[in-house]
Amino acid sequence: MGQLTFHGHACTEIRTADGTRLLIDPWLTDNPLADVGPEGFYDDLDYVLLTHGHFDHTGDAYEILRRSGATLIATFELVSYAQNEEGVENAHPLHIGGGFQFPFGRVQLTPAFHGGQVAGEHGGGYTTFPAGLLMQLDGTSVYHAGDTSLTREFELLRDRVDVALLPIGDNFTMGPSDAVRAVDMIRPGVVIPIHYDTFEVIEQDPEAFREAVGDLAEVVILSPGESYEF
């Protein structure tokens, strides 16, 4: 059995049944909702996965990667930036539509519609395609949508996802009403809302989102530090 722990904003930690520890989009320092700091991942971390290059998703990633020796999984451009400019040694590049069978399970990058900036002191020369993460873990399909608008690409995931982490914050990503439409397209078993309440402009009511989803899926609302077992 695997365990998914929400750390605020879009940061998600996953422990697979064999003990592999994954960390997605670790922005913890200066994140007002984070329940843990980056030092919580300097030891006993195997992989860091990034959906795109914005600061609120990559914030502590490179420091965690350098200190832990974990392997970065991200788009080719983000991997290039991390290795050439941030001193990251271990990495596996992927790109949209491509996937790879890792020891812990399969990861495939899916389209996401958002900005392509790579944040960082030397990030000006790099851009990348935002992505979602479709992961096959312990017999469960887990989808982290990253930052995205509503898109018909969700229809390609229909009935292929057991657990979906979807942004609901609006302003920078799709909001609650569009996220409900995404649920209707994907038809996952469980939906976990992410990317809301961190800033005033993305404050949302997750209980209202749950009510709007209705019987399309089970909505699991996690506060930072809370976990869901799959």
Query: What integer is the mean pLDDT of 35-62?
Result: 98
Q: Is 228 inside any structural domain?
A: no
CA distance 7 to 5: 6
Q: How many CB atoms neighbour CB 214 within 10 A?
A: 11
Q: Is the confidence at residue 123, as pLDDT, over 90? A: no
Summarize pLDDT for 63-84 with one digit per residue, the tens.
Answer: 999 999 999 999 999 999 999 9
Residue bearing tokens 């949302």 = 204
Domain membership of residue 153 (yes or no) is: yes
Hey, what are 127's tokens?
């851009």
What would the mean pLDDT of 30-53 be, rounded to a whole number? 97
* Residue 167 pLDDT grade (very low, low, confident, very high; cuts 50, 70, 90): very high
What is the spatial distance between Cα 109 and Cα 99, in angstroms, rounded to a whole number? 6
Q: By residue range, what is the domain housing residue 205?
A: 3-223
- Number of domains, the chain: 1
pLDDT given for residue 122 in this prediction:
84
Residue 51 lies in a domain: yes
The answer to whether 149 touches 114, Cβ cutoff 8 Å, is yes
User: What's the mean pLDDT when you consider all of the chain?
Assistant: 97
* 107, amino acid identity: V
Domain CATH number, residue 106: 3.60.15.10
For strands 218-219 and 47-49, give the pairing.
unpaired
pLDDT digits 0-9 by tens, 150-159: 999 999 999 9
For residue 221, the Cα-to-chain-centroid distance in whole angstroms is 16
pTM over 0.95? The answer is: yes
Angle at which helices 206-213 and 176-186 cross, to 10°: 40
The pLDDT value recorded for residue 217 is: 98
- Residue 229 belongs to a domain: no
- The Cα–Cα gap between 144 and 38 comes to 20
Encoding tokens for residue 27? 């922005």
Residue 89 domain-assigned (yes or no): yes
Whether residue 147 lies inside any domain: the answer is yes
Q: What's the whole-number mean pLDDT along residues 192-220?
A: 98
> 3-state DSSP call for residue 79?
helix
Q: What is the mean pLDDT of residues 204-211?
A: 98
Q: What is the pLDDT of residues 4-37, one digit of tens each?
A: 999 999 999 999 999 999 999 999 999 999 999 9
The answer as to whether 230 is a domain residue is no
User: What's the rounded Cα separation, in Å, for the pair 62 and 109?
Assistant: 20
